[in-house]
Amino acid sequence: MNAPEKFLSQEAAQPATGRSQIHESARAQVAGSATYVDDIPEARGTLHAAPILSNVARGRLLRVDTTQALKMPGVRGVVLAEDIPGDPILATFTHDEPVFARDTVEFIGQVVGVVVAETVMQARRAARKVKLEVEPLPAILDVREAIQARSFVLPPVTVRRGDPEQALAGAPHRLAGSLEVGGQEHFYLEGQVGYALPLEQDNWRIHSSSQHPGEVQHWVAHALGLDNHAVNVECRRMGGGFGGKETQAGHIAVWAALAARKFKRPVKLRLDRDDDFLVTGKRHPFAYDWEVGFDDDGRVAGLKLMLAANCGWSADLSGPVADRAVFHVDNAYYLGDVEIVSYRCKTNVQSHTAFRGFGGPQGMIVMEAILSDIARALGKDPLDVRKANLYGTSERNVTHYEMTIEDNILDPLIARLEQGSQYRERRAAIAAWNAQSPVIKRGLALTPVKFGISFTATFFNQAGALVHVYTDGSVQVNHGGTEMGQGLHTKICQIVADELGVPFAKVRISATDTSKVPNASATAASSGTDLNGRAAQFAARQVRQKLAEYVAEKQNCRPEQVIFAHGQVSGPDAVMTWEQAVDDAYHSRVQLWSDGFYKTPKIHYDKNTLTGRPFYYFSYGAACTEVAIDTLTGENRVLKVDILHDVGTSINPAIDIGQIEGGFIQGMGWLTTEQLVWNENGLLATHAPSTYKIPATGDVPAHFKVELWPEANREDNVGGSKAVGEPPFMLAISVWEALRDAAAAARGDGQVRMDAPATAENVLRALKA
């Protein structure tokens, strides 16, 4: 055995990336030892807070009577708007949301204040004893009513290209229609929670289940009247986020910090599931009106489209959500002459917020509905109409927001899935089934996805990281991204391990902490690995360069001749273990840590006109789904799913496939069983698992096949990879389109109007309309 071989182990000889490494927290999670915010040992003297909620959708807040609450056992007091030492308005972009309701209440569930007590249950019981005197005012609960009343959280936006009116007038065929698509509850397994600890000299430590610790830091400091450097926010992991903890985790942390300041004790605030439903925002429900002109092949000639987003009572992230919906109206299709009008409607319900896809699903679904309606009107297969409208050559490769598509792979991707899923054969078999089955009807749909990757707010596309190499050769990484189960930390450890040429087990991650990497962007927009992975790679690269320079000096060679691989450091004259090289470098006073910074190149756009290049690249995919419906009850089931999805060169195939599977099932829930219902008074009636149904294991089809497209990202992204968090969610539009296909077969007239989600009731309405 020669010198290099004796240092190799089977694990060290393998690269870390491109392999299905176990999630870095998997063993701890299975053992129940992974720490979430509510598991952190409580400091001595910790108190607990619970929210006081409005029970009126809109009204003047005349009085808050806390008399009975203050008499309850264990209660220490209440925190209301007058107890805020800093700005009583949250530090949101639009500055339109009070920390606590003051003169008015705007929805049922708005937080007026918090009750603070010795235990969680004491606080919750007392909060329900607080009496609010509210003078009711007329409430707006519907987006069409909001449009009529000109009730908007932000001004309407119009994007226009060409002359859609002339194109419509000259088109051989025309259709018009409307659509309603519901929202979705995040239903993260770990609810919203924050734990505020006052420290010496008016410094603060906040533990927050947040996708954006930097924003939590800013919000808490703003409310306390402090500079940002007085507040450190930490998040080791979340039990799910899905966008629901991007901004709205900040509310929880602010309320806990205000209580901790008033009572000079640590305070934890954890919402129970019912309150979480009532307080926090959801995926934006949308309403649409459209008119389309098309030729004999189904190719769109002109389109006029109205999108109305139900934003709830404040802006939150509704502006960028609605913008992304506008950007994704085209999905995978060229729109030459088009006008899109986007309304951002203010209603008296929860302030809707980020959710996986961030407006993309709401933009794509209406285009898929339009193309299917075109196909049925012409008596064509919907897949053929979709293929006729795909982006293509240089004359048909510019989006309606003036971005040239340079990486389109949908033609070959769809062709491969069409063949692999036996789409044509199954289409014929389903037609034969439906002809002889009077009650159970089947449907089939193959729909594509083209999803833009980057924050549309260009300045968010930046990230920082720290890499520390210790004298024993172990490596610690810290970065500004957050872990919510999606495997971000695992992928970053893999990237750093390969950059340093060490085994995956040598690298560990530490909790996201604003005192380590400042000003970090939210872990959102599917960009967590793209941004933070690249920053960590750059940090590791700088450490490696310093070590290479040291070894090169010792061996009288150039730094680029020093090789880091398989846990070894190799030069022309000698090979040593990684550990030996690190120890020698330390004793020669070589810096063994570094920072890394990355900003996404090429992107730019004008937020006033919504034109430019908002995305670095696109992720692509397609899904073929088969369903069955019971025409007597409206009940339905997904039978088969075949997915071909583009993740570039996968850093971790197991994690990526898991994200595809999970995203698809969550999207399926949005479009089938997850229905949000507000009653006539504005109360969210579906505010618990008993009335709101997310998919269960029994809803997963027996045939559920996922394959990865075998091509690297054509842009220079970390490891040749592509984002995977959000794009698979929209593959589930194939479920809804398959259900519409089955409903059309049952009707027999080639027409179907069905709102989403496709609950049994909505399916029956579609059959009988």
Size of the chain in residues: 769
Please say whether the beta carbons of 619 and 647 come within 8 A.
yes
Handedness of CA 745, 751, 756, 759 (dihedral sign): negative
- Are 334 and 302 contacting, i.e. CB atoms less than 8 angstroms apart? no
Q: Measuring CA to CA, which residue among 503, 694, 740, 727 is closest to residue 622?
A: 727
Q: Hey, what amino acid is at 571?
A: G
Q: How many CB atoms lie within 10 A of CB 393?
A: 8
3-state SS class at 475? strand
Query: Choosing from 145, 726, 737, 761, which is the catalytic residue?
Result: 726
User: Which H helix or E strand runs over 310?
Assistant: strand 300-310
Instruction: Give CA–CA dist 714/716, Å, rounded.
Output: 7
412: buried, middle or exposed (CB in 10 Å: 19+, 13-18, 0-12)?
exposed
Do 670 and 694 contact (CB within 8 A), yes or no? no
Q: Is the distance from CB of 113 to CB of 299 less than 8 angstroms?
A: no
* Secondary structure letter of residue 532 according to DSSP: I
Give dist(CA 383, CA 364) in Å, integer.
16
At 374 the three-state DSSP class reads helix
674 assigned to active site: no
Question: Running DSSP on this structure, what letter comes out for residue 81?
Answer: G
384 closest CA partner among 301, 450, 444, 299: 299
d(CA 265, CA 76): 11
735 touches 668 (CB < 8 A): yes
Q: Are 457 and 587 in contact (CB under 8 A)?
A: no
Give the amino acid at 6: K
CA dist., res. 323 & res. 61, Å (int): 34
Counting Cβ atoms within 10 Å, is residue 690 exposed (0-12), middle (13-18) or buried (19+)? exposed
| Largest pairwise CA distance in the chain | 86
* Residues in contact with 208: Cβ distance below 8 Å, sequence separation at least 6, in sequence order: 37, 193, 194, 195, 216, 233, 234, 235, 249, 250, 252, 253
Contact assessment for residue 469 and residue 593, using Cβ atoms and an 8 Å cutoff? yes
Q: Which of 74, 1, 12 is nearest to 504 (CA)?
A: 12
Residue numbers annotated as active site = 726
